[in-house]
Amino acid sequence: MIRHVVMFTWKPETTEAQRAAVPAGLAALPGQIPQIRRYEYGPGRNPGNKDFVLVADFDDDESFVTYRDHPAHQAFVAEYIAPIAADLARVQYEVG
């Protein structure tokens, strides 16, 4: 199993409406991308830490790449994440 973790920091000018749109947009992706096995996300809880995190599990590297390159995922990133992300960190690792 491959675990994908993404941590975001929002730009200072990010609105509450933009922040609220992120989980709503993420919620739609598992229905569009069957390779997603587990999908959890939410806002950070401590000041000074990242603002939002996503944790997703996939059967294998090929499934992750299918998700990464899927048009629905790419559209979500372009519309909801790219305009408001000041910083993000990504990692994928084998769970086992």
- The yes-or-no verdict on residue 96 having pLDDT over 90 is no
**Which 8-state DSSP code applies to residue 78?**
I
pLDDT tens-digit readout, 40-63: 999 999 988 999 999 999 999 999
CATH number of the domain enclosing 77: 3.30.70.100
* Mean model confidence pLDDT for the chain: 97
Sign of CA dihedral 89, 11, 25, 45: positive
Query: What phi and psi values does residue 85 have, to the nearest 5 degrees?
Result: -85, 120
Tens of pLDDT, residues 27-46: 999 999 999 999 999 999 99
Domain limits for position 88: 2-94
Q: How many domains does the chain have?
A: 1
